[in-house]
Structure 1
């Protein structure tokens, strides 16, 4: 998967020995050849004439504009659009950018046989539909000249200015840089684009226009290429379009991706929807007439129109709720656009008087808007013949934002729409990308964090001062703390939710009032990575583990590498020349960085050892690794006081005396399980190369947590007697819990106790078992 691919419909281009001074093969027409609106390249003899590329905003979400199919590339349509809102000086700059792009792409064809310049023109037209400024239109026309034609950024700065060059640079790939893997290259391309977007949102608007045109013109591609590009579009670009509120682009990209990924399902569902239109036309007309008459009688000025769900929206609902097409009743919905905010709620009441509302199907996105700025009232009513019908009620301003999102800043900048709030929300999200970048170790990790934040499903919670914080569904108080400020998250110790103490693992729900308690001496715990949801929180925690605990990670990594080398019969002492080659070939900045990467699980000690073995003249460093070789390594000694680089697994809570095994987790160091832990066995079957032998040190100077469970009689004083016996056994209690059975005869007591080792725990169990009223006691493991 290539996250920022070149135009996928591009065929192999002829090598250019020398860049031509101007386009001699282009015939120009018009009153002034210097400002021609049309460039005609020499087309194949049989090539037909092409229609100009259509605009992006379509009245029907199911309509897919036709692709260009000829050897003629016209800018007439583009300049007509630009002339509607652009002055003559800016229009002249755009034409200059067009001529330069036409010159650079001269002789270059797309796979469809059309001249390549038709693609930049189409992208610029889509941007013109948003009324983007001259710099953005110029960048759209030039967006491939750096990547495909080796044009340097300095040349673009000289010709068109630094802002345009920066936009083009943000859209260009990094093909000249060598990466360790294709995945890393893809992630780095994506990182570069998003960081350019963080400084100028026009970068992603142009990129989305580029992707939209490519998706519209993929018919000439092989099925495998269609599937790969469509999957990437669905995973990355569709969520970005939704996050920026570009709903028209969002819906069309979804449908185009669906059509290329599942062409048969797309065609079958399309036929079913077409057939259903005729059957449901009478119902739709009846609802429209009734709603218009009712609103008119209530003296509410409103535009009312029906809308059809996209094919992908119908397909997604069928899949998620296991429905057949005939069971999807709300294929049609209705939008009611009123003239003022109060009339939104008046219209809602009027509609509820007309048709009965479905319980639990009302959402107020006006009072609490979505992350992308979307505002509307949503309600589902029982229409004629018992059919559920969804209504969306909004003002004209809200409708503009709903359809065009952040692009409405350019579309309606002279109108009444106030986009300041949406701009602030977008800026805050883009700023969070820069925060994640500063705390992230590599491009792949950056991509992982950002993709988490792109999913739109959200919960809305409140600070004690009633400020609304939007978080992804499944977010925890730790995510909330980091959303407020990184320092708050780093020093979190506890939380109250709705004025009640709660666990840091608690999943937040809509309307929760969350208050974070901090301590200046507190630090992030590696276990937080198991339940945090947002990319910002995850990257901040990992950044802390990498930096604050760096000495521990280096020591552990050095120990793991030495043991891996010893198991291969290689001396762990590394010569100077070998270190230089190792660092160069592994892209590590220093030997300590390499050790730290091994210590936190980012690199595998066995693979690095095999690489060193190869550099010393042994077998190939790329030879397959024997997953059983870990059993031959000397065990890593566990003292229990290593710090966060070594953690005891919470699922089984190993204690000295238990047989143990270690799991190297990416960016989290070494996790120690008991050898018979069911969770460890499942994980080892999936990733056998991440497990190493470990053993307890003979010198232990701390106590270890262990869970015990008791079945007791429901009688007075039993808890006090058990707790006293645990204390007499020289153990400390850190947690007490109780489960009651339905008959109120027996209780289950759960304790977490701190013991020295397995012998100490066995003695404690014997002592507690003798307490009157205790029927059964055992060590508990998850």
Structure 2
């Protein structure tokens, strides 16, 4: 490995470079030599490039490496920070970097390089795919994201020369993605800085007005602030507790967001005074809390113990709100020095404070688990993955318990289904109901702090598309979508195979007699990987069985012929591949016809359905003859309208007659006419077939109060 610069010496007279070299004193001399070589390589690669501000480009990688050195990270990370743009901007290759600086550095730089060489349909798609690549690299090595965050931090600090629209776009992306990632990794200081800089770039005028108001308010509040500070210090000293106490400044963006979200005025937001108390150990945290509650009265319900139950990003502190002098709310955070380090630097505290503290090690484990969950959320659609992860990056958490007493952090608004998928994918896929605090609860129930949640599973239970409308976590959303897609594809493949078989038989060809080479060339011509994928396309309505059959038999001349004269048999229980139309609600016994609808598969209508009348004549290719094949035990929804005389107890009589005929009532609605002589009862009932429906109607006609009864179809609903 070539460890020394050969052709491009470092700029010894550059003060920024000299300061950078001085900060490397925590690393051994071999590592420093390698970092110097990386700087020389980067300086040469970027020699003819300038930033938009006119500065030499090398100032950017040097600033990013400087931030990495501040976190006291290893030499590989510092080298990668210096080289992070050489693949993207200077055309260096991974193999060359691995040869000169080692494979770990090359992997880090590759993880940081964008996918510029790939073609994307839109900026959003490119952004989603770049984001996916970064997260996958970050799941393998956490240093990737720390370098990326330092890179983004320097970029947003130095964007004054950019076009305003580009500046705003990058600032929005930073607020939406990079700041939440910094928070998720516990990098609170960086999180606040990214937010404030982005806020100034998006709303420069508002930021300036707020900053001016904040400077003025600071002067006016000084006296009260000093008084509260002295009272807190005095009380803790009197209790014999050693502690550092200092005021906590609110960031510009957090003030702006509070004003927007809670519709508060500037003075209302600033009326809350924040203090931080840093003590020696955990028991002292609780002693300090007791002392402060004796000094000022606490606000009920405003105490949070993040020491016993840390946040997912490792954050620990006691939070309490007190009523100070003149009724002023005073927010206090109490923590140890270790907790303070982790609260400021998050996962970077692992490198900064190498004293083997437990908080840092625990945070590393939690972060690793989160990164692994990102890998599990991968889908073929990068935009969907992007959406899932963004959901996960904004958790305002609630803490719930498993039956064994394990604490699980869930985002606020998470439901029983989210919890089930957080436990295990199989538990999520088979959950049927739950007990919350020992009482039965539906799956859409939102979880609250302290809930004890027990999931009840059933072997035949499976994910329902409705779940997607209320789940909150990216993991649950991605697992449900994956299951539904797999299920639909399997069912569509079976349906597609049957449809193609019927088509071939109608052309007088037995499928088994077709040579394997013909099937292979069909798969190749369709651009799919397997015959199953071709079947799935037919089942989903993406390909017409008549066209596929003729291509298979190489009889293109017949592709325009009339459709098959054979009939496809269906049960109506095929699941997602075959849908019974809502407009006419067909049931066994009804004459039916099938429509091949792209992306939905086969949709079954009754022959006389008014909704399809026009499309049947305009596009006959998409319609195929189908018939019912009897299947025991399945019930179908249909709508009936019953006109009855407006007498007392008539609804109970009608409901009893429906139940006697062996039918379930799913829904009922009533319309009374203005003169109140007749009432129209509209039922959705479940029947097995047309004969069963006739029996229900016969039973209803025997009731003297029933004047008229008919089945509702199509537009009548």
* TM-score, normalization by structure 2: 0.78
Matches within 5 A, 1:13-92: 22-23=7-8, 38-39=11-12, 74-83=16-25, 85-92=26-33
Tell me if structure 2 keeps the 8 A contact 1:639–1:696.
no
Identify the residue that residue 629 of structure 1 maps to in structure 2.
none
1:406 pairs with one of 340, 344, 347: 347
- The structure-2 alpha-carbon separation of the partners of 1:279 and 1:463, relative to structure 1 and needing over 3 Å to count, comes to same
Partner of 2:432: 493
1:524 aligns with 2:453: no
Task: Describe how 1:356-395 pairs up with structure 2 within 5 A.
Answer: 356-395=297-336
Separation in structure 2 between the aligned mates of residue 263 and residue 558 of structure 1, nearest angstrom: 61
Aligned-pair CA distance for 1:269? 1.0
Q: Which moved more, 1:543-552 or 1:92-101?
A: 543-552
The equivalent residue for 2:574 is: 642
Cα pair 1:39 1:74 within 8 Å, conserved: no
**The one of 671, 674, 687 aligned to 1:755:** 687
- Asked if 1:244 is matched to 2:191, the reply is no
CA separation of 1:265 and 1:778: change in aligned 2, threshold 3 A: farther
Change (3 A) 1:489 1:648: farther
Counterpart in 2 of 1:732?
664
Distance 1:156 1:477, change over 3 A: same
Between the aligned partners of 2:272 and 2:374, the Cα distance in structure 1 is 37
CA deviations over 1:528-550 (Å, ceiling 9, x no partner): 22322222222222222333442
Q: Within 1, Cα distance between the matches of 2:711 and 2:150? A: 61
Matches within 5 A, 1:274-293: 274-293=215-234
1:755 Cα deviation from its structure 2 partner: 2.6
Matches within 5 A, 1:51-200: 74-83=16-25, 85-200=26-141
Q: Where do 5+ consecutive residues of structure 2 fail to align?
A: 501-517, 552-567, 607-621, 643-648, 669-680
Task: Mark the CA change 1:533 to 1:522 in structure 2 (over 3 Å): closer, same or farther.
Answer: same
**What CA distance in whole angstroms lies between the structure 2 residues aligned with 1:662 and 1:250?**
54
Match of 1:699 in 2: 628
Aligned-pair distance for 1:589?
4.9
Instruction: Tell me the SS of whatever aligns to 2:180.
Output: helix
Alpha carbon RMSD of aligned pairs, Å?
A: 4.5
Take 2:188 and 2:603, find their aligned partners in 1: how far apart are those partners? Answer: 44
Out of 189, 198, 203, the position equivalent to 2:144 is 203
Q: Deviations over 1:705-727 (max 9, x none)?
A: 479999xxxxxx99998875332
- Check 1:660–1:468 CA distance in 2 against 1; reply closer, same or farther (3 A cut): farther
- Give the Cα–Cα distance (whole angstroms) in 2 for the partners of residues 379 and 230 of structure 1: 33
What's 1:426 paired with?
Answer: 367
Q: Distance in 1 between matches of 2:68 and 2:499?
A: 54
User: Cα–Cα, structure 1 residues 545 and 276, in superposed 2: closer, same or farther, change >3 Å?
Assistant: same
Given that residues 187 and 346 in structure 2 are in contact (C-alpha distance below 8 angstroms), is that contact kept between their aligned partners in structure 1?
yes
1:221 aligns with 2:162: yes
CA positional deviation for 1:222? 0.8
Give the aligned partner of residue 230 of structure 1. Answer: 171
Q: Describe the superposition over 1:281-318 as per-residue Cα deviations: whole angstroms up to 9, x where unpaired.
A: 11111110110001111111111100111111001011
Q: 1:417 to 1:514 in 2, by over 3 A?
A: closer
Q: Distance in 2 between matches of 1:750 and 1:359?
A: 52
What is the DSSP-based 3-state SS (H/G/I as helix, E as strand, rest coil) of the residue aligned with 1:641? coil
- Give 1 or 2 for the bigger CA radius of gyration: 2
1:83-124 per-residue CA deviation (whole Å, 9 max, x = no partner) reads 1x1111111111111111111111110011111000000001
> Cα distance, 1:592 vs. partner?
5.4
Q: CA deviation at 1:230?
A: 0.8
Distance, in Å, in 2 between the alignment partners of 1:105 and 1:594 is: 50
Q: Please name the residue that 2:555 is paired with.
A: none
TM-score scaled by length of structure 1: 0.72
Hey, what does 2:249 align to over in structure 1? 308
Cα pair 1:239 1:456 within 8 Å, conserved: no
CA distance in 2, matches of 1:178, 1:590: 26
**Bigger Cα displacement from structure 2, 521-530 vs 234-243:** 521-530
Residues 571, 629 of structure 2: 8 Å contact kept: yes
State the Cα deviation string for residues 467-519 of structure 1 (Å, max 9, x = none).
01112222222221211111222222322111112111211121111111223
Check the 8 A contact 1:525/1:644 in 2, yes or no.
Answer: no
* CA distance 1:203–1:481, shift in 2 (3 Å): same
**Structure 1 unaligned regions, length at least 5:** 1-19, 24-33, 41-71, 562-573, 613-635, 675-692, 711-716, 737-748
